[in-house]
Amino acid sequence: MTTQLITHPACLDHDPGPYHPENPRRLEAVLGALDADRFAALERVSAPRAHDDELCLAHPRAHVEAVLGSIPPMGRYQIDGDTIVSPGSADAALRAAGAVVAGVDAVCEGRARNVFCAVRPPGHHAEAAQAMGFCVFNNVAVGALRARVKHGLRRVAVVDFDVHHGNGTQHMFERDADLFYASSHEWPLYPGTGAAQDRGVAGNIVNAPLPGGSDGLAFRRAFERTILPALDAFKPELVIVSAGFDAHENDPLASLRLVEADYAWVTRALMDVARAHAKDRLVSALEGGYDLDALAASSAAHVDALMAA
């Protein structure tokens, strides 16, 4: 089995404006980095559109219809202060969620060992009934629930190393003991959620907030002491990663100080858990990362580690 790269050109057509941090150049940078010769063995797969029934695993149907109905035929529409959609946003958002669905299917059906979904818009801030924080639909939550409905898995974990807490994913998972969500994130920072005392209904929520200025050593300690032991005890049948690279020391939207080696390290650590409990099944989806050079290099380090697993 191999590593799949799932993406689609339509994800470049979501255009929140030239000065918006979450712009098409982000995905161009990631895909440019993954065009290097050392990634020739990646199996490149076109992301399908998520169907309404798949989106409705995580979102009420009325909300899905309202979001898709808000996409303007021209110009832009502001869903909230940070989340702006354009004519290409519907196809992009459907492909972003569809990529994670396709990735889950691929690892559960034995067609890939692991998957990186290079897509946008990101998803981890999207609440069940509210698009927010650059996010339209919650791509990883859709994928996690797909694993249950389609493939009969029970225990699914999402691990999020984006610098911002994934409020949407936590809120969707916290009342279900068989869904696990863990996050390392800068604190305090948008969206203001992710306190260490949040535990969910069965200790299935694990937050490791880090103060601004924390470096890779603090990040690794948070995983080694808090997140990885809880994830191992949960024994996930599938690991999904919210792979945000905005905790990098060069990122303009936060102040953690990670480098590429930290992303390679955490990817290997998560693959170790997937190997122990989930038959190697791991699906990663791009979230944040707003310095283009840092995003490209960090994504490449992440995929290097996936391919070497």
Mean pLDDT value of segment 156-167: 99
- Cα separation, 251 vs 256, in Å, equals 8
- Cα separation, 285 vs 96, in Å, equals 9
pLDDT at 1 over 90: no
Q: What is the pLDDT of residues 204-247, one digit of tens each?
A: 999 999 999 999 999 999 999 999 999 999 999 999 999 999 99
Q: What is the pLDDT of residues 29-45, one digit of tens each?
A: 999 999 999 999 999 99
- Cα separation, 266 vs 243, in Å, equals 10
Question: Tokens in use for 151?
Answer: 């493939």
Mean pLDDT value of segment 52-74: 98
- Cα separation, 126 vs 117, in Å, equals 17
pTM of the model as a whole: 0.98
Question: Tokens in use for 17?
Answer: 């404006």
Question: Tokens in use for 305?
Answer: 């580690």
Q: Considering the chain, what percentage of its residues have pLDDT values greater than 90? A: 99
Q: What is the pLDDT of residues 107-132, one digit of tens each?
A: 999 999 999 999 999 999 999 999 99
pLDDT at residue 309, rounded to an integer: 83
Sequence-ordered list of residues with C-beta below 8 angstroms from that of 262, at least 6 positions apart, any chain: 216, 219, 220, 247
User: What burial class does residue 72 get, using C-beta atoms within 10 Å of its C-beta: 0-12 exposed, 13-18 middle, 19+ buried?
Assistant: exposed
pLDDT at residue 190, rounded to an integer: 98
pLDDT at residue 127, rounded to an integer: 98
Average predicted confidence (pLDDT) for the chain: 98
Strand partners, 159: 182, 241
pLDDT band at 68 (very low <50, low <70, confident <90, very high): very high
Q: What is the pLDDT of residues 10-25, one digit of tens each?
A: 999 999 998 999 999 9
pLDDT band at 185 (very low <50, low <70, confident <90, very high): very high
Q: Considering the chain, what percentage of its residues have pLDDT values greater than 70? A: 100
Q: What are phi and psi of 237, to 5 degrees?
A: -90, -10
- Cα separation, 156 vs 236, in Å, equals 5
Q: What are phi and psi of 221, to 5 degrees?
A: -65, -40
Cβ atoms 70, 130 nearer than 8 A: no
pLDDT at residue 292, rounded to an integer: 98
Question: Tokens in use for 133?
Answer: 């924080």
pLDDT at 152 over 90: yes
Q: Please identify which of the residues 125, 164, 248, 302 carries the catalytic annotation.
A: 125
- Three-state secondary-structure class, residue 154: coil
171 is catalytic: no
**Cis preceding linkage at 191, omega within 30:** yes
Beta strands (DSSP E) in the chain are: 3-7, 43-46, 77-78, 84-85, 114-117, 156-160, 179-186, 205-210, 238-243, 282-286
